[in-house]
Structure 1
Amino acid sequence: MIKGLSEIMTLKETAKYLKTTREGKIPAVKIESGKDNKVIIRVPYDQELIRKIKTVSGRKWNPQGKYWEVPYSDGLIAKLQNLFGENLFIDPYFYLIPLQRELSIRKYSRKTIKSYVRYNRDFLLFAGKKSEEIKNEDIKKYLYYMVEKKRVATSTLNIIINALKFYYGEVLGKEFIYEVKRPKKDKKLPVVLSKEEVHKILNAPSNIKHKVILMVVYSAGLRVGEVVKLKPEDIDSERGLIHIKGSKGRKDRYTILSQTALKILREYYKEYKPSKWLFEGARKGGHISTRTVQAIFKQACRKAGIKKDVTVHSLRHSFATHLLESGIDLRYIQEILGHKSSKTTEIYTHVSKASIASIKSPIDTIFKERKP
């Protein structure tokens, strides 16, 4: 636990205090967690408070963000508490620096770190307590609130439980968290596009970059987070493979490279000449964002006249289903998709046209035998 944190007011007291500051009675000094082990300190225009912040060693003014930055150290919180007293407000996000560090050390993905911190921050705001004051009952109330009021899906609820268990169990060493029972998983089937619908979607974009991104996703069964992180050297045209690196569960794998996708990839490469990333983003040196790819897919669906409730991930579902329908063994599909368990891949047997559409309804037999 960060030193000095136990002396700071509870979150409920902080909320009450912030209301006072908004009414202009007390100017608030806000502390937030920044990048690269930095602490962000937002100081209002008050000569006395500015004079105090200038006494903090290592502080640096950020003109773009209009805040002060200070390198984090174990004694920093207590020092700032003594310096600013009742003017100090700490964002609950700051309580979770030990959680961020532990997740980073264990090589969790940026996406997982972001979601674990977000849900723990949300929980602290809900409970109105400091981390060391949390009891099992607080967690149960929060989970009940997320189910009954927020109507979160079972998958989201499991992520929340994982986030709380990791912080309170792994980081803070509390055992009570393990008493929380997990909900039963929703047995929802994926939405699958027909081959005709996929053809319409892939032909919809007029921009060759947009077209090739969607083609690569479908033709190789990629996750959206995988396609955006592809590099030119990941495309092995000689062997007809795509090398997926550091995917879900930090696993590498190979998937198929279609000749149709390769042909348009070469056209795209000649026009755009990508360097670091196969699909570069608007920001120099960065790759295209998953949000942008989702927008490209949504626009393509609208242009193609697709009415189904689908996302980019539906192309991956459709890829797997179409492979199964064409007679490809489920074990090979599992390998291509990078599924850890065969049970995950087996879901496609429930949506495969080959296994369902071949069954004739009894009504067809009835009316065939009894023609009017």
Structure 2
Amino acid sequence: MDILFWRQTIVRKYYQNYTLEANRCYFNNCFSISTAWQSYYNDKLIEGYSLITLKAYQVQSNLLIKHFGDIAIDQITNDGLKQYLAKVGETLKPASLAHRVRFIKSLFRWAHEEGKIHRNPFSKLKEPKSGIRVPKFLTEKEIEHLREACQTAKEHAIIEFMYSSGCRIGEIVLINRKDINWSNNSVVVRGKGDKESEVYFNIRSEIWLNRYLNERQDEDAALFVTERAPHRLSIAQTRYIIKNVSLRSEFNKEISPHQLRHSYATHLIDNGAPLEVIQSLLGHEKSKTTRIDAVLSGKQRHEHYSKYF
């Protein structure tokens, strides 16, 4: 009698668990992390998220799967996520950890809004505090060392253009030859959120760009291309070029592409450019400078650039 009772109890418990699992899968169609990511990616692409941002988020999605397995997203608990963040937080800088938290919050907020999960358990998840870091930049002497280390017209053109325009690397690789306005040394770039802005480059950059383009024999539309089977340079390939040039230079240290952007802004400040001019030239969108950006457009922005750079 006792054995029969326990058998019935075990079968009943198993059936209840099976039913709960079936109901859960029916509700969210067993919405795994990978399935959630693909749907999230498609939606955010339509909303105008940049491919660079989405590529970075894809890395975060893969890391979640690596840790938890490709489970249904509603199986990730508060405790489980805290353990995950605590573990990776042992080796990550606060800014990198904050990036992971932003992605997780964004993914689960989206899943909740889309009705894929009953509730968002991570709506109150906070990003780690990170101190204000002073951006690293190169001195004008170090910029000269970089120039001296360039061995090809392409290396010269990339270094000069990135430094004199203040462009992000993600903007550089998207530029096409036809985008350049040679009459006033300007180019319209597509930046964060697929927003367009006009940037300028100096005469030295113009000289090396022309020399590089005149050397090319391909018909590829991209401004910067690979040597073999010419096609558009990727972000990784552009980073590699800048890394090699910096390691060959006299100061012999690896620099990041973003340091060229910081150097551009710092040297504008050193030459007396007002902060609002720099914010406009860098394409920063801040509520306090919206009105200023509207004023500093077109001809005036170009005049400010020529005056201070």
Q: CA RMSD in A?
A: 2.8
Contact 2:220 2:231 in 1 (8 A): no
1:220 aligns with one of 165, 169, 185: 165
After superposition, the C-alpha distances for 1:203-261 in whole angstroms (9 at most, x for unaligned) are 2121111111111000111111111211112211212322112x113221111221111
CA contact (8 A) 1:217 1:223 kept: yes
2:249 is equivalent to residue 249 of structure 1: no
Structure-1 separation of matches of 2:76 and 2:228: 42
Q: 1:337 to 1:133 in 2, by over 3 A?
A: same
Partner of 1:260: 204
Greater shift in the superposed pair: 271-280 or 326-335: 271-280
Aligned partner of residue 82 in structure 2, secondary structure:
helix
Q: Taking structure 1 as reference, are residues 114 and 265 closer, same or farther at Cα in structure 2, changes over 3 Å only?
A: closer
Q: What is residue 80 of structure 2 aligned with on the other side?
A: 138
| Correspondences of 1:358-369 after superposition (within 5 Å) | none
Instruction: Assess if the C-alpha contact under 8 Å between 1:99 and 1:117 holds in 2.
Output: no
Contact 2:162–2:172 (Cα < 8 Å) also in 1: yes
Structure 2 regions of 5+ residues with no counterpart?
1-20, 114-118, 290-309
Q: How far, CA to CA, are the matches of 2:287 and 2:95 in structure 1?
A: 19
Q: Which amino acid aligns with 1:316?
A: R
Match of 1:180 among 125, 130, 140: 125
CA contact (8 A) 2:95 2:130 kept: yes
What does 1:121-132 correspond to in 2, within 5 Å?
121-128=62-69, 129-132=71-74
Q: Distance in 2 between matches of 1:117 and 1:227?
A: 22
Question: Which amino acid is the alignment partner of residue 198 of structure 2?
Answer: Y
Alignment deviations for residues 15-61 of structure 1 (CA, whole Å, 9 cap, x no partner): xxxxxxxxxxxxxxxxxxxxxxxxxxxxxxxxxxxxxxxxxxxxxxx
- Give the aligned residue type for 1:166: S
Counterpart of 1:61 in structure 2 is: none
Alpha-carbon distance change, 282 to 103 in structure 1, aligned in 2, over 3 angstroms: farther
CA gap of 1:169–1:249, structure 2 versus 1, over 3 A, is same
Structure 2: distance between partners of 1:293 and 1:200 = 19
CA shift digits 1:176-212 (9 cap, x unpaired): 2111112112321122111111011022121111111
Structure that is richer in strand per residue: 1
Q: In structure 2, give the amino acid aligned to 1:137.
A: D
Map of 1:198-237 to 2, 5 A cutoff?
198-237=143-182
Deviates more, 1:98-107 or 1:160-169: 98-107
What's the offset of the Cα at 1:282?
Answer: 5.2
Distance 1:116 1:107 in 2: 14
Supply the distance in 2 between the matched residues of 1:327 and 1:342 (Cα, whole angstroms): 23
In structure 2, relative to structure 1, the CA distance for the partners of 1:317 and 1:275 (3 Å cut) is same
Shift of 1:285: 6.9
Q: Look up the equivalent residue of 1:319 and give its one-letter code.
A: Y
Q: Structure 1 stretch 95-104 or stretch 193-202: which is displaced more?
A: 95-104
Contact 2:166 2:264 in 1 (8 A): yes
- What is the match of residue 106 of structure 1? 47
Contact 1:298 1:311 (8 Å CA) reproduced? yes
Letter in structure 2 aligned against 1:260:
R
**Structure of higher RCO (CA pairs closer than 8 Å, 6+ residues apart):** 2
- Which is helix-richer, 1 or 2? 2
Question: TM-score normalised to the size of structure 1?
Answer: 0.63
1:271 pairs with 2:215: yes
TM-score normalised by structure 2 residue count:
0.74
Match of 1:85 in 2: none
| Aligned mates of 1:259, 1:307 — CA distance in 2 | 27
Give the letter for the 1:324 counterpart. Answer: I
Once residues 274 and 247 of structure 2 are traced to their aligned partners in structure 1, the CA distance between those partners, rounded to angstroms, is 34
Task: Measure how far apart 1:277 and its partner are.
Answer: 0.5
Query: 2:197 & 2:180 partners in 1: Cα distance?
Result: 13
Question: Aligned partners of 1:92 and 1:131: how far apart in 2?
Answer: 5
Q: What is the CA–CA distance in structure 2 between the aligned matches of 1:156 and 1:283, rounded to whole Å? A: 35
CA distance in 2, matches of 1:291, 1:121: 19
Percent of aligned positions with the same letter in both sequences? Answer: 25
Give the alignment partner of residue 152 of structure 1, picking from 77, 81, 92: 92
In structure 1, what is the equivalent of residue 263 of structure 2? 318
Provide the aligned length of Structure 1 versus Structure 2: 257
* Alpha-carbon distance in structure 2 between the residues aligned to 1:339 and 1:118: 26
